Copies of this chain bind each other. A is one copy, B any other.
Amino acid sequence: MANLSSVFTVKNLLVLSLALNVSLIFRVLILHDAQNGSFNGFFFTKHNRSQSQKDALFSPVSSSSSSLSMAQTDQDRVINLDHGDPTMYESYWQKMGEETTVVIPGWQFVSYFSDATRLCWFLEPEFANQIVRLHNVVGNAVTENRHIVVGTGSTQLYQAALYALSPDTDAEPISVVSAAPYYSSYPLITDCVKSGLYKWGGDARSFSKNGPYIELVTSPNNPDGFARRSVVDGSEGILIHDLAYYWPQYTPISSAANYDLMLFTVSKSTGHAGMRIGWALVKDEDVARKMTKYIEINTIGVSKDSQLRAAKVLKVISDNSERPNAGDSFFEFSYHVMAKRWKQLREAVHESGLFSVPDFPPQLCKFLNVVFEPQPAFAWVKCEGEIEDCESFLRGKKILTRSGKHFGFSPKYVRISMLDRDRNYNTFVERLSTIRS
């Protein structure tokens, strides 16, 4: 018996070891796949409706660059920092292991309805609870007397807001404006199906039409990272506040935002872009109801599965944030990664001498209790000197970025994602620092 049991132990160890191997191979494969996604990520655009729609959210890179991604060594491989795929956070969630694993039985959550008594009837109650809790923990938004509307990402919520806020008349479509540089997707989303309700009106700074308008205030701003207020001096303005980046890894949390209509998304707060989940905090009940109606008509609600998963992720972040001296707090981790990356970027820009990045005033973050300079999710890089087309110039160095022209600004600027995986980011700053002309 003793012999037999020792044989079993060895066998057991072998099985364990093999299982570990399989799991590691699986992990490596998944990481490899995901990694490929981040530098092969471009899409053909030639069949699109119009020039402006050629340059859609994920598609400003022309199809001709498809061959660039063939080379795999760090010196000459293409680094794609065009879109803000937040894969940087992946390593944190890996480290957290099973804490945020979600298990959904096949027979649960089959109904269209999450809570038929709620204004937003497709909002999962547990997700709503965790949204309120996280805002209270971080102190970045007022949730009292607000209606929560869940959306398939904040992109859908933006459209829901346009639908809800545009006037209920047969008049001209209402103008939608934002101060340049503005998020490159907003004009595309606004004019996608040529709505008769609303219409992209361009740079808010040069807007001077009389009557009602919608002003979109993104703060901190995408692409340049600055804190913002509305700029149009009109009495009939209706404001949408896109607060996707108002989280402590990007900017000091100075006070709880207290606007009429505020948009948030998990893609930039927790990094779970694949979930497609965002939420709006809405003061006015009628507006919240109309936004809900839009989402009902557009997609008959929002994936329950992603809401459940998002609820779990938000809960873990709040739990970790409330634990005293937690070394594993999500915002501590992401704050430190962003701080390190911005330090690296500023050093590379200094080293090269060809570029500049914005400077930001430091401020006290009431959540982290630290004074720091904003460290945005995107770097708004200017090519100094005679380089007029910064995007093309960097593409020549096999660095894919998004040109300033997509943001209603000069092509001397590019937007660069700061949220890619370490390997890509490190190769990028190394390469940037050696560029001389």
Q: Which residues of B contact A155 (CB under 8 A)?
A: 297-300
For A163, the closest partner residue in chain B by CB is B193
* Interface pick from A52-60, A212-220, A250-258, A343-351: A52-60
Residue A14 at the chain B interface, CB threshold 8 Å: no
The residue from B85, B101, B302 contacting A111, defined by CB atoms under 8 A apart: B85
Number of A interface residues in the complex (CB < 8 A)? 100
Residue A305 at the chain B interface, CB threshold 8 Å: yes
Residue A301 at the chain B interface, CB threshold 8 Å: yes
Q: Give min CB distance, A389 to chain B, whole Å.
A: 25
Residue A30 at the chain B interface, CB threshold 8 Å: yes
Contact A296 B152 (CB under 8 A): no
Q: Which residues of B contact A36 (CB under 8 A)?
A: 116-117
Contact A48 B309 (CB under 8 A): no
Residues of chain A from 62 to 98 with CB closer than 8 A to chain B in the complex: 83, 85-87, 89-94, 96, 98
Residues of chain A from 243 to 288 with CB closer than 8 A to chain B in the complex: 267, 271-277, 286
The docked-state distance in angstroms from the alpha carbon of A298 to that of B158 is 10
Q: Which residues of B contact A410 (CB under 8 A)?
A: none
Chain A residues in the interface with B (C-beta under 8 A): 30, 33-34, 36-38, 40-45, 47-50, 53, 56-59, 83, 85-87, 89-94, 96, 98-117, 121, 152-153, 155-156, 159, 162-163, 168, 185, 188-189, 192-198, 267, 271-277, 286, 289-290, 292-294, 296-306, 309, 312-313, 316
- Pick the 10 closest A-B CB pairs, nearest first: A100-B106, A194-B196, A37-B113, A93-B107, A303-B303, A274-B304, A305-B305, A193-B195, A152-B299, A94-B107
